[in-house]
Structures are given as C-alpha cells and as structure tokens.
Amino acid sequence: MTTAESTAEPESESAVETARRQLERAAAHLEVDEGVVERLRHPTSVYRVSIPLERDDGTTEMFTGYRAHHDSVRGPYKGGLRYHPGVTEDECIGLSMWMTWKCAVMDLPFGGAKGGVVVNPKELSRGEKERLTRRFAEELRPVIGPMKDIPAPDMGTDPQTMAWFMDAYSMQAGETTPGVVTGKPPVIGGSEGREKAPGRSVGIVTREAIEYYDRELEETTVAVQGFGSVGANAARYLDERGATIVAVSDVDGAIYDPDGFDTNDVEDHDETPGMVSTYDAPEKLSNPELLELDVDVLIPAAIGNVLTVENARNVQADMIVEGANGPTTSAADQVFEDQGVAVIPDILANAGGVTVSYFEWLQDINRRAWSLERVHKELESEMLQAWNAVREEYDARDVTWRDATYLVALSRIAEAHDARGLWP
C-alpha cells in the first residue's frame, strides 16, 4: 500500500474527530453504558519513541515514531505502521480507533492500533530503511508481540519492511516469532492472498450489495477511482463476474469506455506506472469527472476526502462502495443520505486486508500455511457473515449503511466491555 489519505482539504476532519463522531452516532442508537462510550473516546496508550538512524554518509539523524493502542477488550491490538512525513500522534490515535471498529465488524479477536514514523521513505536508501525499521522494532519491543500488538504494512511500508521488523523482534526474543507482524512475504510466514484481499473484499461486498438491491452484476456499470492495489483487484473481481467496468483512473487521470474495459488488459499502477492514463481508450476524463459519471456503482479506491460537499450533489451513482479509507467527508455523507445514495463504508468493504492478516496470524501461530484456495474460501465466509450482520441492522433500523456497520461494531465492543467489567 503506497497511497496517502489526503488530510489537506479545508472540509476534512482529522481521523480522531471522524472516529469520535462515528462512535457517538452509533452510541445514540444503542443502550450502551456511557462509561464505556467515554472510555472508547480515548486510546488506552500512545507510545512515542525516538529513533536514531545512521545515514549512509555516516551522520546520525533522529526520527520520531508512534504506536497508538486504542482498545483491546476483544483481543491483541492490530493495525498498520506507516512511514510518511505527515504521521502525527493524533492521526495514529484516530486510525487506531478505526481499526477497533473494523476488527469488531469483522468479528476478529483483535482490538485497534496504528503507528508510524515521521519520515519520507523515498528519501531513504534501502539500507537506511532497514536500519530505521530494525531500530523502530526494538524501541516498540516492550509493547508489541503476537499476543499483545501485531503491526502490518501501511502507507510507505511493505512486506520487506515487515520481514525486517519480524527479524529484529525475533533476534532479540531468541526465537523466530512470525506472528509479531502480518503482511510478511509468504516465505517467512506471510499468507497467500494477503495483498489482493482488500480489493477482493470490496468486490465481494459490492456483489452482495447489488444483489440486495435486486440487481444483476451483468447489468451493472462500475467506475473505479484509483486503479492500484485495492481498485484494480476490486475491478477485476467484478469484471470476472460480469460487471461492466466503464471507467478507471490513476493519479494522472481517468479513462472511459461505455462498453467496458478488459481489466486484465489495463495494467495497474504497480505493474506499469502511468499505464492507465496512457491507455488507448475511447475517452479520457479527469479524476473529478470520473466521480460524477452516470454509473450504477462508484468505487473510490485512491485516497481520502475525494467526495466532498462540493461534488456530492453531482454524483450520479446509485451506490458508493468505499475502497479507500475515508473517501467521503461527513458533509458529503449527509448529502448522500438525503439523496438516498447507498454508501457502503470502508470499515466493512476493504476489511479483507485485516481479515487475511488474521488468517496469517493463525497460520503463524499454528506453523501451518493455507492454500490460496482456502484463504479465498475463508475470506468469502467472513465477509458474508459481516455483511449479513450489517444488513440485519440496516433492515431493522432506519439508519444508513455506515451507521448500521458502526452499530454492529460498537455493540460487540460494548458487550465485551460489559462482560469483562472494569478492572480493578
């Protein structure tokens, strides 16, 4: 995963504000102990570490790293580590809260965490990135572990970063500990199907939502913003099942063909950077134009805050399935609610990533690798269970899909707090 969620727009809220607002919206529909809600407004702990890095020229530079733990009532903390110049303590706290809801809606035995280092990874050599990662792992060692907190890749980090992180932790632990991180290369305990899982889950959820509205995938047109890891895998999943992918984009622009693209012919950003915007398509569009196309389903799968109060009224799609994290601002969400546009939220749609991370953790603990076929089968089953739980809330109450999703998550977390009680 390499893209950023934009936080520069004036309308955008901080991740922690969004997470708190969504918690309060869900709490208003449930009979939840106010003490539990108050507890969930805050992280359990936030660790701030200083990381000295020896640069290739022999000088030493200091970097700041964070790890926020939000809630662990349902199991060990789980969440990504990002390397990005915009990493802040508040952002880590907000994103750790999102992870708590995401794990709960998927019914995974994990709580939420997020962390990162304030650094531009593009300015580091491979050796510098490795040294930074190893030292960061060492600084976090007291608060992470397979039964405590399990990091994963995020913006600016990848399977290789997780391999160094796991090796550093294992060397100090005196034993190979693959379960300390997920998103590793399969050769050291990573799971088959991990990288494609978020896009696949977006595809599965879109398929279910189409069926819910009594439509056929074969008669569904789809526009995908961001033909990267999430977007391309979602588009290909739906294309293979008969949907017509009429538009896709990358950072440089969009391509449009009303008859639909062969999504295996268009290569994604990693396969051939810039291929989308240079593809020989009937029509070229801008990214904002793609968002306003008259399609059945719009999948924003690039960055955050792209659907705003400025463009929400021009969106003609009947349904939005959030592939990216936080693509819809709260003001835009209100417009979609008023206009009856179904918005299937990120914490459900792209949760295939953390779900296959859970499978990876199970495989590591059991020292037994699953086949890709098994990963796909189990992911399908987990996604259907989550979808059905959300659908039941949606049918039972007069709420949006987003609210229904948060209701499922919060009721599970609140019940767990209730059952365990407050210590001491």
Give catalytic residues, as residue numbers.
114
Residue 333 contacts ligand NAD per CB under 6 A: no
Residue 200 contacts ligand NAD per CB under 6 A: no
Amino acid at 403: D
Beta strand ranges found along 37-186 (DSSP E): 45-54, 60-71, 77-84, 111-118, 149-153
Site for ligand NAD in 83-122 (CB under 6 A): none
Please tell me what DSSP assigns to residue 233. H
Q: Which residue is nearest to ligand NAD (CB)?
A: 228
What is the rounded distance in angstroms from the CA atom of residue 213 to the CA atom of residue 220?
11
Characterize the bridge pairing of strands 221-225 and 244-250. parallel
Residue 275 contacts ligand NAD per CB under 6 A: no
Residue 416 contacts ligand NAD per CB under 6 A: no
**Which span (38-46, 88-96, 244-252, 359-367) binds ligand NAD, by CB under 6 A?**
244-252
Tokens 């809606």 correspond to what residue? 105
Please tell me what DSSP assigns to residue 255. E
Q: How many residues bind ligand NAD (CB under 6 A)?
A: 26
Cβ 349 to ligand NAD shortest distance, Å:
9
What is the rounded distance in angstroms from the CA atom of residue 88 to the CA atom of residue 315?
32
Among 18, 229, 328, 330, interactor with ligand NAD by CB under 6 A: 229
Residue 49 contacts ligand NAD per CB under 6 A: no
Residue 287 contacts ligand NAD per CB under 6 A: yes
Cβ 305 to ligand NAD shortest distance, Å:
10
What is the rounded distance in angstroms from the CA atom of residue 311 to the CA atom of residue 291?
8
Toward ligand NAD, which CB reaches closer, 1 or 414? 1
Residue 3 contacts ligand NAD per CB under 6 A: yes
Residue 405 contacts ligand NAD per CB under 6 A: no
**Which span (122-130, 185-193, 223-231, 311-319) binds ligand NAD, by CB under 6 A?**
223-231
Two structure tokens written together for 305 = 């805050």
| CB atoms near residue 177 (< 10 Å) | 18
| CB atoms near residue 313 (< 10 Å) | 12
Cβ 43 to ligand NAD shortest distance, Å:
20
Residue pair 307/328 in contact (Cβ under 8 Å)? The answer is yes
Among 46, 180, 285, 324, interactor with ligand NAD by CB under 6 A: 324
Among 37, 104, 223, 301, interactor with ligand NAD by CB under 6 A: 301
Among 171, 251, 362, 416, interactor with ligand NAD by CB under 6 A: 251
Residue 250 contacts ligand NAD per CB under 6 A: yes
Cβ 197 to ligand NAD shortest distance, Å:
7
The DSSP line for 66-102 is EEEEEE-TTSSEEEEEEEETT--HHHHHHHHHHHHHH
Among 115, 190, 228, 345, interactor with ligand NAD by CB under 6 A: 228
Dihedrals φ, ψ of 246, to 5°?
A: -90, -20
Cβ 11 to ligand NAD shortest distance, Å:
16
Give the sheet arrangement for strand 342-344, strand by strand: 283-285, 253-256, 244-250, 221-225, 297-300, 319-321, 342-344
Chain residues that interact with ligand NAD, rule: CB under 6 A:
1-3, 5, 198, 225-231, 249-251, 269, 287, 301-304, 323-325, 350, 353
